[in-house]
Structures are given as C-alpha cells and as structure tokens.
C-alpha cells in the first residue's frame, strides 16, 4: 500500500473535502504538478483545472477549481480555492456548451483587449468542467 498524507480542500463556504490521500494533481501557471507523501514544502497558485485526488484503494475524486492556492507544509497539503465543484455535479452537455460559447467569444477578440485574459480563463474553466464530466464515473485502476 502506498504512503498517504493529510489533504484538505477548503472553499469560502467550508471544507469541500478532507481525507488521507495517496496523491493530488492540479495545474498551476506553469503546468500540471503532483504531490505525493513526503513532498517538500511547496506553495503555488492554481489556474482553472480538474484537481485529482487519489485515495487509498485506487479510488479517485475529481473537483473543478477555478483558481486558488495549494500549499504543502510539513507533509500536509491544503488547497484554498474560490470554489470546488465535485465532478459528479458537472453535466457534460452543459460544459460542452460553455466551451463552445467561450471559444466563439475568444475567437473574435484580440489578444491585446483588456477582456482577453478573463475570456481565456473562462475557456480554461469550461474545458476543465468537460474533463471533470468525462472523469466522473468511478475509476478503479
């Protein structure tokens, strides 16, 4: 059995998830990163992504997070997110519609427009929602 570590996912309305986990993966501005037991102390910002939590017994939980901070300190990982949506609550068709609308909007914008960065984040979030919907079926590897 793989080593575990304490993990907590916190939003402004409370703790969205808390348990002993084998690993956590998410995205920061530089790309995907992962955390395992005995990870060095680390802090980073998050971009819109699917936060993947591997539980003991090869079960997974998936959450859509639009942004936040991830910290590993003394073997404990805490993610502070503005929101955490469990994959089970994401409807793929709705998310796919969000992607199409966001792609349409960003397709008519200039990179230099003030609203471009916000539109790009909405597209990233919509794509994360689609990915979460695809992953929401129980996984046993």
d(CA 78, CA 42): 10
- How many domains would you assign to the chain? 2
Domain that holds residue 95: 89-135
Do 96 and 110 share a domain, yes or no?
yes
d(CA 126, CA 102): 8
106, 116 in Cβ contact below 8 A?
yes
| Per-residue tokens: 117 | 């960065």
- Which tens digits make up the pLDDT trace of 95-134? 899 999 999 999 999 989 999 999 999 999 999 999 999 9
pLDDT band at 141 (very low <50, low <70, confident <90, very high): very low
Do 66 and 95 share a domain, yes or no?
no
Do 14 and 75 share a domain, yes or no?
yes
pLDDT at 137 over 80: no
d(CA 34, CA 85): 20
Do 40 and 64 share a domain, yes or no?
yes
pLDDT band at 2 (very low <50, low <70, confident <90, very high): confident
Do 14 and 26 share a domain, yes or no?
yes
**CATH code, domain carrying 25:** 2.60.15.10
Is residue 37 in a domain?
yes
- Which tens digits make up the pLDDT trace of 13-60? 999 999 999 999 999 999 999 999 999 999 999 999 999 999 998 899
pLDDT band at 74 (very low <50, low <70, confident <90, very high): very high
Do 81 and 107 share a domain, yes or no?
no
Is residue 68 in a domain?
yes
* pLDDT for position 140: 43
Is residue 122 in a domain?
yes
Do 12 and 69 share a domain, yes or no?
yes
* pLDDT for position 52: 97
Do 81 and 18 share a domain, yes or no?
yes
pTM reported for the whole predicted model: 0.88
Do 101 and 74 share a domain, yes or no?
no
Q: Which residues contact 13 (CB under 8 A, 6 or more apart)?
A: none
């Amino acid at each position: 059995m793989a080593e575990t570590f304490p993990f907590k996912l916190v939003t402004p309305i409370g703790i969205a998830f808390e348990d002993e986990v084998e690993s956590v993966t998410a995205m920061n501005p530089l790309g995907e990163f992962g955390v395992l037991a005995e990870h060095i102390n680390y802090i980073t910002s998050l971009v819109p992504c699917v936060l993947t939590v591997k539980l003991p017994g090869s079960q997974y939980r998936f959450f859509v997070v639009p942004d936040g901070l991830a910290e590993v300190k003394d073997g404990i990982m805490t993610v502070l997110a503005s929101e955490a949506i469990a994959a089970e609550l994401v409807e793929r068709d709705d998310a796919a519609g969000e992607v199409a609308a966001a792609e349409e909007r960003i397709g008519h914008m200039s990179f230099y427009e003030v609203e471009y960065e916000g539109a790009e984040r909405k597209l990233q979030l919509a794509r994360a929602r689609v990915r979460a919907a695809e992953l929401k079926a129980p996984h046993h590897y």
